[in-house]
Structure 1
């Protein structure tokens, strides 16, 4: 795998590069200070995510985008590549675009892989890239997993207890998103027609995105709308402005999906890795 990174864009020729995976990693999270450097079974979170990205085939650039020198120094220690982005980036997506602009080559496709996505299988990332290559009309692609009765009931219970986590998505026959919500959509009516049986028409959204470079530039320039502000979901900005979002159904292959939002999640992630093994060996 070849990596390209530049500290300066001045007088540099701009060429087209197929795919860049960029990992936004911010130290100053209000809910979990220093999260990218948290240890998970002997390795830091950012090291684990970087390894997952590097395991995806046919990717030209893997880069960590951070505003903190402590993270940058650590990434360099395991020969990772870093883009130092400004402190005033408003969110991870803006940080990803800023890092993409710093690369020595302009990527055709930019994958935003969250810096806490330690349990994302490489084949899930590859599925989005494959979809972008298969259909050149796709501007944004994201992933979703079909829920079964057990996982659906568990999410309903969690929502009933007031938990905010867990986004669902509906999409049309072409796979283009109709809506994303923190509520469980669609509503599943339990009736005699068997609508409460598998396969469920409910898909849990995975916060992983692939963008055409030009679409990412356009997206960042757009204003947020009432749906995005209400749900606190950035991807709704694309839908509100008429940018289609292709939803790719993925299979975790029996692996467990879990997000790291707080220090308490570290123990759960370590338990999952202990039970299921590492996705990518050290």
Structure 2
């Protein structure tokens, strides 16, 4: 089983056009993502999947590898599916999907997902990360997606609302979903062909489509959390965090 890590990156963004190329401490954000992902053990190849020539040139400029995709990709998963088709991966190969707006991603958390699949071969075909919320402001923030899972760490539901909801107490752990995914090449291809799910459409969470159609999602609990970059203001937060690290 080969492990290929893909970083989907598009230039167009309603809130932050050109986000992958935004400089963070003098380097484009996509370079930070690529370099931190490169520190993860057990990954055989890393590619940025993009439809934009400027992003391609930037990635190749720092020595990274690129696979070009169509600008018509409807979602990040569709872009991933097209990219792995171009790369000719085998059905059982593992694909790690790291978003291009995670310049502070932790390499050990990527390794956790690789380990999940190696320890439990054939038991599931999709995995992702969760982390216990320690910042109370995130509990009711819809931008921070929550996840609940069973005793075997299979996801039961993802929501923008606080789940579970404590009727009599607030003293219990709540877990945030971290948007890093791992799946077999076979699963990605099957997932991309599934119709939009009803719950997915309501919550605007693509991973709910997998649950709605009966697929298992295994959750690895990360010891680390890191901010995504959604707006230009988030760049300064990343620079401050890098200064501390």
Fold equivalence (TM over 0.5): yes
Could you say which residue in structure 2 is the equivalent of 1:273? Answer: 242
Relative to the length of structure 2, the TM-score reads: 0.95
Question: 1:190 offset after TM fit, Å?
Answer: 4.3
SS of the equivalent of 1:130 reads: helix
Could you say which residue in structure 2 is the equivalent of 1:13? Answer: none
Could you say which residue in structure 2 is the equivalent of 1:135? Answer: 120
Separation in 2, partners of 1:104, 1:70: 25
Could you say which residue in structure 2 is the equivalent of 1:165? Answer: 143
Runs (4+) of structure 1 exceeding 2 A deviation are: 104-107, 188-191
Does 1:184 pair with 2:162?
Answer: yes
Among candidates 230, 240, 250, match of residue 202 of structure 2: 230
Question: 1:133 offset after TM fit, Å?
Answer: 1.1
Whether contact under 8 Å (1:186, 1:201) holds in the other structure is no
Separation in 2, partners of 1:138, 1:122: 22
Does 1:99 pair with 2:83?
Answer: yes
Separation in 1, partners of 2:56, 2:97: 18
SS of the equivalent of 1:201 reads: coil
Question: 1:273 offset after TM fit, Å?
Answer: 1.1
**Structure 1 105/228 Cα, relative in aligned 2: closer, same or farther at 3 Å?**
closer
Separation in 1, partners of 2:89, 2:77: 19
Question: 1:209 offset after TM fit, Å?
Answer: 0.3
Whether contact under 8 Å (1:175, 1:248) holds in the other structure is yes
SS of the equivalent of 1:22 reads: strand
Structure number with greater Rg is 1
Separation in 2, partners of 1:62, 1:178: 30
Q: Which structure 2 residue ranges, 5 or more long, are not aligned?
A: none
Among candidates 27, 43, 48, match of residue 64 of structure 1: 48
Question: 1:104 offset after TM fit, Å?
Answer: 4.9
Does 1:155 pair with 2:138?
Answer: yes
Could you say which residue in structure 2 is the equivalent of 1:280? Answer: none
Could you say which residue in structure 2 is the equivalent of 1:75? Answer: 59
Among candidates 17, 20, 28, match of residue 33 of structure 1: 17
Separation in 2, partners of 1:131, 1:42: 35
Q: Which structure 1 residue ranges, 5 or more long, are not aligned?
A: 1-16, 278-282
